Structure 1
Amino acid sequence: MMQKHRIRNGIQIKKLYLLNKLHLMKKIFLAFLLICTNYLVNAQDQTLDKKYRPVVTSFIKVVKSGNIEKLSSKIKYPLNRTYPIPPIKNKQEFVKRYKEVFDDNLTKKIINSKVETDWDAVGWRGIMLLNGELWLDTDGKLIAVNHQSRLEAKEQARLINVDKNSLHSSISNFAQPVLVFETAQYRIRIDDLGNNNYRYASWPIKSKMSDKPKLILTNGKFTPDGSGGNHNYQFKSGDNLYTCFIIVIGEKDAPPAQLVISKAGKEILSQPAKKINL
């Protein structure tokens, strides 16, 4: 029985790992299509601007050295991970969870990358590696990693089971959790029910997710916003349109997300997120 349980868990982890990989690949691919459009307009500029090469070279050297303490100083915290994995809040947490993020696969990609051609500056959004797998700001600080190791996939599978057991029964079934964010008034949760059918659930901010949601909407639509990984989810309810803008790479002081509700095309509410888990 124990062997069957281990095999079943192993299959679930593998399925989650592949599902997450496809989810990330979709976002990266859509962003890459938009970036390609810009490159076609400026075809002569196919290499990383020389002014950014020193910061990228410095980052690569630190990763290659294997000095985790030094690398922890090159990160802009918090470093968000795929929900429901908690973000890495500080240097101490990064040192402990280093292998969860920087597995051999990602490390090799960074070390073997060519500064001039594998890294691209995308305006104010930052500098990306290989079409968005990893992002630095223009000062060389790590701001996002769109790569998931098998260790993280295993931990995510465990946390998803915990998450499902803690939710109200009306929303405890889903294929993959997407995100949770909080505004001044609301707690918003988005889940993928499978086949890109997204579900929206919301509560008053003082309520718990174990309480019955005040609003549940399905058949949500995912849309990429620009070339930095930003995206949004839209849900309809009669004349009302609920849009959750997710700001992965934003300008200074930009909120991590924004809830916008419109009725018959007229905006009736707009609230920034105070915090987000995605």
Structure 2
Amino acid sequence: MISKIILCLGILPTTAFTTPVTTDATSIFEVTSPKQEKIPKTVIIKTKKFKIKIDKQPNGNYLYQSWGANTKISAKPAMIISDGEVIPDGSGGNYYFEFNNNGTIYQVWRNYLTNSTQKAPYTLVVIDSNGETIVRQDAQVVKN
């Protein structure tokens, strides 16, 4: 009796995160991924030097707008980049937005797995046309 209980307890953790899928008369299990966070339609973040607003457009792509860190968002943006996309990063819910501005890549990374007081929830990374990282700044949410 005790050995059956121990056996069941040993199997429980491996089956607790599976979803049964039935095909014909056979039941198999499919592992599901952890709950993915919903990607916001609009996010506004601030680094030491920039304010950045990312908006989902009706066509499904994303729009990047940036200002100086101390400039109001109601002012004309210093930079606008259209046709950005969201790229998933791993299975933990992280992702990044990527925008191409004449060969310079702007990425805004969402860091769910490192969501703590020591690590900012977003990171801005700018990569020049030679593949060199020229900017890497942590960012806090101004509006989400």
Both structures adopt the same fold (TM-score exceeding 0.5): yes
- What residue is the counterpart of 2:23 in the other structure? none
Work out whether 1:262 is the aligned partner of 2:141: no
- What residue is the counterpart of 1:117 in the other structure? 17
How far the C-alpha of 1:117 sits from its partner, in A, is: 3.3
Q: CA 1:206/1:132 → structure 2, altered by over 3 Å: closer, same or farther?
A: same
Distance 1:46 1:179 in 2: 42
Deviation sequence 1:21-77 (CA, Å, 0-9, x none): xxxxxxxxxxxxxxxxxxxxxxxx98547xxxxxxxxxxxxxxxxxxxxxxxxxxxx
Q: CA 1:276/1:132 → structure 2, altered by over 3 Å: closer, same or farther?
A: farther
Q: For structure 1, which runs of at least 5 residues remain unmatched after alignment?
A: 1-44, 50-114, 119-128, 134-145, 148-175
How far the C-alpha of 1:228 sits from its partner, in A, is: 1.4
Query: Residue 227 of structure 1: which of 88, 91, 105 is its match?
Result: 91
2:123 alignment partner AA:
Q
SS in 2 for 1:274: strand
- What residue is the counterpart of 2:3 in the other structure? none
Task: Tell me if structure 1 keeps the 8 A contact 2:33–2:91.
Answer: no
How far the C-alpha of 1:116 sits from its partner, in A, is: 2.8
Which structure has greater helix proportion? 1
- What residue is the counterpart of 2:137 in the other structure? 271
- What residue is the counterpart of 1:210 in the other structure? 74
Q: CA 1:223/1:130 → structure 2, altered by over 3 Å: closer, same or farther?
A: closer
Deviation sequence 1:72-110 (CA, Å, 0-9, x none): xxxxxxxxxxxxxxxxxxxxxxxxxxxxxxxxxxxxxxx
Q: CA 1:221/1:47 → structure 2, altered by over 3 Å: closer, same or farther?
A: farther
How far the C-alpha of 1:130 sits from its partner, in A, is: 7.4
1:259 alignment partner AA:
L
- What residue is the counterpart of 2:35 in the other structure? 132
Task: Tell me if structure 1 keeps the 8 A contact 2:104–2:126.
Answer: yes
Distance 2:106 2:124 in 1: 7
Q: Percent identity?
A: 27
User: 1:167-178 residue pairs with structure 2 within 5 A?
Assistant: 177-178=41-42
CA RMSD of aligned residues (A): 2.9
How far the C-alpha of 1:193 sits from its partner, in A, is: 0.8
- Count of matched residue pairs: 120
Task: Tell me if structure 1 keeps the 8 A contact 2:46–2:142.
Answer: yes
Distance 1:183 1:48 in 2: 41
Deviation sequence 1:236-274 (CA, Å, 0-9, x none): 111211010011221652210100111111111110013
Q: For structure 2, which runs of at least 5 residues remain unmatched after alignment?
A: 1-9, 19-31
Deviation sequence 1:96-135 (CA, Å, 0-9, x none): xxxxxxxxxxxxxxxxxxx9336xxxxxxxxxx97306xx
TM-score, length basis structure 2: 0.71
- What residue is the counterpart of 1:155 in the other structure? none
Distance 1:206 1:194 in 2: 29
SS in 1 for 2:16: helix
Report the structure number with the largest CA radius of gyration.
2
Q: CA 1:46/1:190 → structure 2, altered by over 3 Å: closer, same or farther?
A: farther
Work out whether 1:193 is the aligned partner of 2:51: no
How far the C-alpha of 1:184 sits from its partner, in A, is: 0.5
2:124 alignment partner AA:
L
Which structure has greater strand proportion? 2
Distance 2:122 2:142 in 1: 7
